[in-house]
């Protein structure tokens, strides 16, 4: 993962604006982590079962490292503490919102409470690709709202 992501990021570095450098790096790393996870699941299931939960944690560590590099390394302690608290709460809220949307669309419920009949469910939103699709729609809506407010 490290070799492939470094090669890919090195190839793209001239095309990635500084403003979105860290999120782009995280997407690249998350993509390679997902590929490795799927390959392991298909070809070495015993190792995948042993390491299964720890593989996605690589991406979370990448997010933490990226934030440390982008903010904490350039600011004093108090603003860094507030940034860590704000970013942590923000990630929690964003993941909860994303999970609620996926659960509602995929199984017709929110936090396990059924709202829609089972015939209205869209299965893809329960699966991993549904997270990317849902995230794309949420980002598009947020960008649209930002444009309208300016």
Residue 67 has a CB neighbour count (10 Å cut-off) of: 19
Across 92-102, average pLDDT: 90
Going by C-alpha positions, the residue among 73, 50, 58, 24 that lies closest to residue 8 is 24
Q: Is the pLDDT of residue 3 over 80?
A: no
Whole-number pLDDT of residue 147: 92
Does this model's pTM top 0.75? My answer is no
Whole-number pLDDT of residue 143: 92
Rounded CA separation 60/57 (Å): 5
Across the chain, what does the average pLDDT equal? 84
Q: What percent of the chain has pLDDT over 90?
A: 13
Q: Is the pLDDT of residue 67 over 80?
A: no
Q: Is the pLDDT of residue 17 over 90?
A: no
Whole-number pLDDT of residue 34: 87
């Amino acid at each position: 993962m490290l070799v492939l992501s470094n090669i890919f990021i090195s190839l793209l570095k001239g095309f990635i604006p500084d403003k979105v450098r860290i999120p782009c790096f995280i997407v690249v790393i998350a993509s390679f982590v997902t590929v490795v996870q799927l390959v392991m699941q298909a070809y070495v299931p015993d190792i995948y079962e042993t390491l299964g939960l720890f593989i996605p944690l690589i991406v979370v560590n990448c997010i933490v490292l990226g934030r440390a590099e982008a903010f904490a390394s350039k600011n004093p302690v108090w603003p860094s503490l507030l940034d860590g608290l704000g970013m942590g709460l923000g990630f929690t809220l964003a993941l909860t919102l994303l999970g609620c949307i996926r659960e509602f669309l995929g199984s017709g419920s929110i936090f396990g409470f059924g709202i829609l009949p089972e015939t209205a469910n869209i299965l893809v939103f329960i699966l991993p690709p549904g997270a990317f699709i849902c995230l794309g729609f949420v980002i598009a809506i947020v960008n649209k709202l930002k444009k309208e407010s300016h």
